Amino acid sequence: MQLERLLQSQGFGSRKACRALIEAGAVSIGGTLCTDARAEYEPEGLVFTIDEVAWAYRERVYLLLHKPAGYECSRNPQHHPSVLALLPQPLRERGVQPVGRLDEDTTGLLLLTDDGPCLHALTHPRRHVPKRYLARLKHPIDAALLQALHEGVMLHGEQVPLAAPDARAVDTHTLALAIEQGKYHQVKRMVAAAGNRVGQLHRAELGGLTLGGLAVGEWRYLDAADLASIPYPAA
Ligand code: URA
């Protein structure tokens, strides 16, 4: 692939902008300066350096972000910055989008990708990817709350009750639960329907993925083993 096209595919701007970068001497590969924008390179496995920062070529990117509170999962945020502001410009430029949404005040595990079919598959209502949350509740957790969540609660606009069969109390006010759907404000509405209120919400797991040691606001690339644990691409 021509170097200018390759950089364009990785989010470094238009073909013209990438050509200008190359011709300005900002790009090197394997320690050698590359000033020929039309030079051909095999993209797979290529590592290039732009202004001293190394980038590996990736046909598609899959990212795991530890979402802080105070960020919206939208490309066009209304009241708070977008989670995309936490990523480097080239990743934003190549059209990375959140897989599903976490509320502005929810923290925790968020996937992002520029792989349209993957995004569609993971957010499809028929794909039941378990999502595990920790919710700090306003009132103490009691047996009635757990029973309602185990049996299922009816949410406005839904046809069938939604249940969290493994919901359990971690301590007096902390609830651990997993849901498989991704309805609007689902956890908060389920807890409200069961007679309590969520104060803070944190997503700890999605499929087999956890945040590991990722600090709040940090992100990392997902590798093939990570993707296999989501599960993706199995239907
Ligand atoms: N359920 C909610 O209520 N909010 C979230 O952000 C995620 C799940």
- pLDDT tens digits for 145-193? 999 999 999 999 999 999 999 999 999 999 999 999 889 999 999 999 9
Residues of the chain with pLDDT > 70: what percent? 97
Buried b (16+ CB within 10 A) or exposed e, 19-54: bebbeeebbbeeeeebeebeeeeeeeebebbbeeee
Candidate of 67, 80, 123, 133 to mutate for ligand 1, largest count of ligand atoms within 8 Å of Cβ: 133
Q: Give the strand pairing for 198-206 and 107-113.
A: parallel
**Which one of the listed residues 36, 51, 103, 166 is annotated catalytic?**
103
Query: How far apart are the CA of 113 and the centre of ligand 1, in A?
Result: 20
Torsion of Cα atoms, 174 then 180 then 184 then 187, to 10°: -10
Which atom from ligand 1 is nearest to the alpha carbon of 106?
Answer: 6
Per the model's pLDDT, the better-predicted residue between 72 and 52 turns out to be 72
Candidate of 110, 136, 187 to mutate for ligand 1, largest count of ligand atoms within 8 Å of Cβ: 187
CA distances (Å), origin 75, targets 69, 72, 81, 105, 159: 16, 8, 9, 17, 30
Per the model's pLDDT, the better-predicted residue between 165 and 119 turns out to be 165
Q: Which residue has the tokens 């949410």?
A: 155
Task: At 56, give phi and psi (nearest 5°).
Answer: -95, 135
Q: Which residue has the tokens 């606009």?
A: 157
Count of CB atoms situated within 10 Å of the CB of 178: 15
Q: Among this protein's residues, is 103 annotated catalytic?
A: yes
Q: What is the tens place of the pLDDT at every residue in 10-29?
A: 999 999 999 999 999 999 99
Does residue 186 line the site of ligand 1, with CB under 6 A?
yes
Q: What is the pLDDT of residue 134?
A: 98
Does residue 105 line the site of ligand 1, with CB under 6 A?
no
Does residue 188 line the site of ligand 1, with CB under 6 A?
yes
pLDDT band for position 214 (cuts 50, 70, 90): very high
Q: What is the pLDDT of residue 123?
A: 79
Average pLDDT over the chain reads 94
Q: Which residue has the tokens 């709040």?
A: 216
Domains belonging to the chain, first-starting first, are 3-56 (3.10.290.10), 62-124+212-228 (3.30.70.580), 131-206 (3.30.70.1560)
Query: How far apart are the CA of 190 and the centre of ligand 1, in A?
Result: 10
Q: What is the pLDDT of residue 232?
A: 58
The half-sphere exposure of 166 on its side-chain side, counting CA atoms within 13 A, is 10
pLDDT of 128 over the 90 cut? no
Distance CA 84, CA 62 (A): 13
Distance CA 203, CA 15 (A): 39
Does residue 185 line the site of ligand 1, with CB under 6 A?
yes
The residue nearest atom 7 of ligand 1, judged by CA position, is 102
pLDDT band for position 126 (cuts 50, 70, 90): confident
Distance CA 212, CA 219 (A): 11
Q: Residue 196 is which amino acid?
A: N
Query: How far apart are the CA of 130 and the centre of ligand 1, in A?
Result: 13
